[in-house]
Structures are given as C-alpha cells and as structure tokens.
Amino acid sequence: MPRKTPTAVRSEEIDLHGHRVSYRIAGEGPVILLIHGIAGSSQQWLDSMSMLAEDHTVVAPDLLGHGRSAKARGVYSLGAYAAGLRDLLVALDCRKATVVGHSLGGGIALQFAYQFPERSGRLVLVSSGGLGREVHPLLRAATLPGSELVLPLISNDTVRNAGTAVSQMIGRLGFRAGPDIAEFAPGYGSLADGGARQAFIHTLRAVIDHGGQRVNATDRLYLAEDMPSLIVWGRRDPIIPVAHAGIAHRGMPGSRLEVFDDSGHFPQLDDPMRFARTLSDFIDSTEPANVDADAMRARMV
C-alpha cells in the first residue's frame, strides 16, 4: 500500500486581546488541540503532527510566555491558559476538539475540560501534571525564593553551549539520554529571555511549591466519566512518576491507559509513530462527548 504524502505543517500567528499567539496548524477534519508543557513549545508535537493531520485538523499553539508567543505580563494560571486556548479555538472557528495535554499541558487540558466541557470532545493526558504531589526535585527547587537570580546563570549562552557538560549534569539528575535531555536543556536555555523566565517562574509557582505539585485534579476526575479519555505515559518518566497514570486511570471511569515501556517524559517524541497511531485509534473508536453545563451540574450534585 503506497505511503501517504506527509501533510505540511504551517506556522501562523494571531492577535488575541492585544497579544501575539503563535501556533502550528495542519490538515483538515475534526480538531485535535495539542498543548505542550512548561518551558516547551509547539515544536514538541512536530514529529506526530503530520501523521495526525492526515485525517484531522491539528492545532498546536505556543502558550503565552512560551515559544514565539508574546511574553506578556499577566496571569499564568491553569484557568488563564485554558481560557486563552478557548479563545484561540473560537478565533479559528473550531467548535469542539480532542484536547491533548503533555505535562503542564495535561493540567491545562483537565482545566479546559472542566471549564469548557461543551468544547471538549475527548481528553488525552500525556505524562500529565495535576495528579499527585510527586515531581522532579529540580522543578521544586526552581520555585524557591531567589530562583529568579539563579535561572539566568544556568540558561546563558556559555552554559547552553557546553553541551556535553550540560548533558552529563542532567543525566546525573535522572534524565534519560534522548528526548528527556534533548528537550530539557533547550527548555531551560529559553529562559535566557527575561520575559520567558518570568512566565516560567509565575507558571511554575502556580502549580508547584517546594514540597511538590500543589494543584490536584484528582477530586474532579469523576467529571470525565462522560468524556472519552486516554492516558499515555512513559514508564521511565523522571519528571512525573508513571504511578500517576494509574491514579488518573482509576479516577476516570472508562478511560484507556497506554504505557510506553521504553519512554521517559516525552512519549510523543520517543516514539512519535506509536503515539500518533495510539491517538488516531482512540479517536476513530470513540464518539466525541456532548457534555454541557447542565450535564456537568447534574453529575456534581
């Protein structure tokens, strides 16, 4: 069977509420919204986007404060991010989406489904935050007082260009060779920009403190019972333990769980073909939810 020609991914920009929002988009059909993690960007989805775009419209924004989007002063909470993504979908005339979130983006995806159930057809959590206290000590340390003074030192050009030393240092902290290190180092390198650094600090302190994750969505997971849900995790995740995948799976009745045995924190980068196939199969075998505010209220009371 001949292989399909890869679908081209376009980079676009839009002005929302006076702020530049950069996003990647590809394909036609039902919408998939891809939400990256902290200090990341839409580029982390590129390996899967072309495959997913064969049958879908795939939208991957740079969150405010990240990538090529504006580094505006403002609120960097899960709720603010979710509202911004709702506004982007409205501007793009996307009525409903399969909402996919990685790491911090998983917490945003959970918040999006909670705030805007009528726009959430399916929910996909990839190595998601918001499901337990445990998180890598390096992220906890970045929330401590004075971290604003340290981050410029570890993100400057001299440190970033010392590739071998940085890789060895990160490896000693428990990160695997491959996407964990390849994505972690550039993510911290991006913090050389003052605006990105402030957004990172504000976002991190909204969800993590010195003791671990401070945002916990487990008491609301039951609200996803009427929404097709998929959980994807790397068994070797050093950032957020794979045990959190089981917490989500048990708390979301009817959810599917897919663990990538050889993956770390970025299963979509470790094995993009498997990730795209898993997501496509999940979408093809489920019907999008039709949950409105009344249905949500009925489940809560």
Ordered DSSP codes for 123-178: EEEES-SSS-S---HHHHHTTSTTHHHHHHHHSSHHHHH-HHHHHHHHHHTTPPTT
**Helix 78-91 / helix 104-115 crossing angle, nearest 10 deg:** 70
Asked if 227 and 291 count as a contact pair (C-beta separation under 8 A), the reply is yes
Known catalytic residue: 210? no
- Total Cβ atoms within 10 A of residue 17: 11
237, 255, 263, 270: which is the annotated catalytic residue? 237
Known catalytic residue: 202? no
Known catalytic residue: 120? no
103, 128, 155, 263: which is the annotated catalytic residue? 103
Region of residue 146 (phi > 0: left; psi between -120 and 50: alpha; otherwise: beta) = left
CA 85/CA 33 separation, integer angstroms:
9
41, 62, 265, 270: which is the annotated catalytic residue? 265
- Catalytic residue ranges: 103, 237, 265
